[in-house]
């Protein structure tokens, strides 16, 4: 199988998490601003089918001296047609020529029934789980689940279902595409699937959010593994064991009301979470001080166009 070079894009601040994921998928990868460069045999298929964190994957058709760009572009047009939508970037004497390999944003996993008030991208949810070291070998809880993005992603991780499951990608229509190899990869990924060994719990105080999360879990095929209930975060009973709580409390920027109250509700839940790990996506406004804890890890990123922090706490 020929070596392919790819660029995988992600939200700023998540590059190291993405590069580590691509390495776990068997590629040589390094973080670079806005994403990760990676290479390896079958890198395009491995990343499109297997990356939970990448928003987009493009194949690098040229990366090097700008003088080589015209020749690379001519060869690319010859292979892929005119209108293939090549991306050219020039910087100083260097240039890259790339082609989107997925065809549609990778964060659209295909299950979302209807967009809630402030849903997370599936890729941001996956990054939060990765930041929390979640591999499905312990319980999961999101006590402010909204449309259920984090709980659905946690159930999919725990079930070891590949993010590219059931999706077809642009690269599969490229001339010379090795369909048999892609089919083999799909079969290998499908063979890893299992029943999640621990519960995935989601709750929200808003009835509409609970209904939406329930529908989304069903659409994603994980309804039997995700328990969704209507409850204030302050009154949630976490599943037994030492799990991961990942949550995206309201920012207050859009429709979702009282952000400080939500952080206080989260603080009220803390005494029931001994031994748990917490990952919180927090607006960059100091609200996390209401938890009264010192984070064990922090990343600056952006979500929905706003600067925010990914904070990790070990309780």
Ligand X SMILES: C[S@@+](CC[C@H](N)C(=O)[O-])C[C@H]1O[C@@H](n2cnc3c(N)ncnc32)[C@H](O)[C@@H]1O
Residues of this chain that bind ligand X (CB under 6 A): 116, 118-120, 143-144, 146-147, 149-150, 204-206, 209, 232-233, 248-250, 256, 262, 265
Least distance to ligand X from the beta carbon of 64, Å?
40
Least distance to ligand X from the beta carbon of 146, Å?
3
Least distance to ligand X from the beta carbon of 145, Å?
6
Residue (147 or 214) nearer to ligand X, CB: 147
Least distance to ligand X from the beta carbon of 132, Å?
14
Please identify the residue of the shown chain whose CB is closest to the bound ligand X: 146
Collapsing DSSP to helix, strand or coil, 126 comes out as: helix
Least distance to ligand X from the beta carbon of 24, Å?
24
Could you tell me if 174 and 80 are in contact, meaning their C-beta atoms sit under 8 angstroms apart?
A: yes
Least distance to ligand X from the beta carbon of 225, Å?
18
Residue (164 or 259) nearer to ligand X, CB: 259
Residue (98 or 147) nearer to ligand X, CB: 147
DSSP secondary-structure letter at 95? E
Least distance to ligand X from the beta carbon of 265, Å?
3
List all residues 6 or more positions away from 31 whose beta carbon is below 8 Å from its beta carbon.
15, 16, 18, 19
Residue (119 or 163) nearer to ligand X, CB: 119
Helix (H) or strand (E) holding 76: helix 69-80
How far from 171 is each of 176, 215, 291, CA to CA, in Å?
10, 31, 46
Residue 225's nearest CA partner among 249, 248, 193, 247 is 193
CA 228 to chain CA mean position, Å: 21
Could you tell me if 241 and 139 are in contact, meaning their C-beta atoms sit under 8 angstroms apart?
A: yes
Residue (79 or 254) nearer to ligand X, CB: 254
- For the packed helices 122-131 and 149-158, what is the interaxial angle rounded to 10 degrees? 60
Retrieve residue 292's tokens: 């009264």
**How far, in Å, CA of 116 to CA of 213, rounded?**
9
Collapsing DSSP to helix, strand or coil, 235 comes out as: helix
Residue (27 or 141) nearer to ligand X, CB: 141
Residue (7 or 251) nearer to ligand X, CB: 251
Q: Are strands 306-314 and 297-303 parallel, antiparallel or unpaired?
A: antiparallel
Least distance to ligand X from the beta carbon of 97, Å?
35
Residue (193 or 258) nearer to ligand X, CB: 258
Q: What is 151-199 written as a DSSP string?
A: HHHHHHHHTT--TTTT---GGGGSTT--HHHHHHHHHHHHHT----SS-
Collapsing DSSP to helix, strand or coil, 233 comes out as: helix
Residue (173 or 258) nearer to ligand X, CB: 258
Least distance to ligand X from the beta carbon of 150, Å?
6
């Amino acid at each position: 199988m020929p070596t392919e070079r790819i660029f995988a894009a992600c939200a700023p601040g998540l590059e190291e998490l993405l590069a580590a994921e691509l390495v776990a998928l068997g590629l040589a990868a390094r973080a670079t601003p806005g994403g990760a460069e990676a290479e390896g045999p079958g890198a395009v298929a491995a990343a499109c089918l297997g990356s939970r964190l990448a928003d987009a994957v493009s194949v690098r058709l040229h990366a090097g001296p700008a003088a080589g760009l015209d020749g690379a572009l001519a060869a690319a047009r010859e292979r892929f047609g005119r209108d293939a939508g090549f991306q050219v970037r020039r910087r100083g004497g260097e240039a890259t020529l790339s082609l989107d390999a997925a065809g549609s944003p990778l964060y659209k996993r295909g299950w979302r029934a209807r967009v809630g008030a402030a849903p997370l991208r599936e890729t941001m949810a996956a990054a939060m789980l990765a930041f929390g070291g979640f591999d499905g070998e312990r319980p999961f809880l999101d006590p402010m689940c909204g449309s259920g993005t984090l709980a659905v992603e946690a159930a999919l991780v725990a079930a070891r279902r590949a993010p590219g499951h059931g999706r077809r990608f642009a690269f599969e229509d490229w001339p010379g595409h090795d369909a048999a190899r892609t089919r083999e990869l799909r079969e290998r990924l499908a063979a890893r699937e299992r029943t999640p060994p621990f519960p995935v719990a989601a709750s929200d105080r808003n009835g509409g959010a609970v209904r939406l999360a329930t529908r989304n879990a069903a659409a994603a095929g994980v309804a039997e593994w995700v328990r969704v209930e209507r409850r204030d975060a302050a009154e949630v009973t976490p599943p037994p064991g030492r799990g991961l709580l990942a949550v995206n409390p309201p920012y207050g920027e859009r429709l979702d009301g009282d952000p400080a109250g939500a952080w206080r509700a989260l603080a009220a839940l803390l005494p029931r979470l001994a031994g748990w790990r917490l990952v919180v996506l927090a607006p960059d406004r100091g609200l996390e001080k209401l938890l009264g804890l010192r984070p064990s890890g922090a990343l600056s990123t952006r979500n929905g166009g706003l600067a925010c922090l990914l904070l990790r706490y070990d309780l």
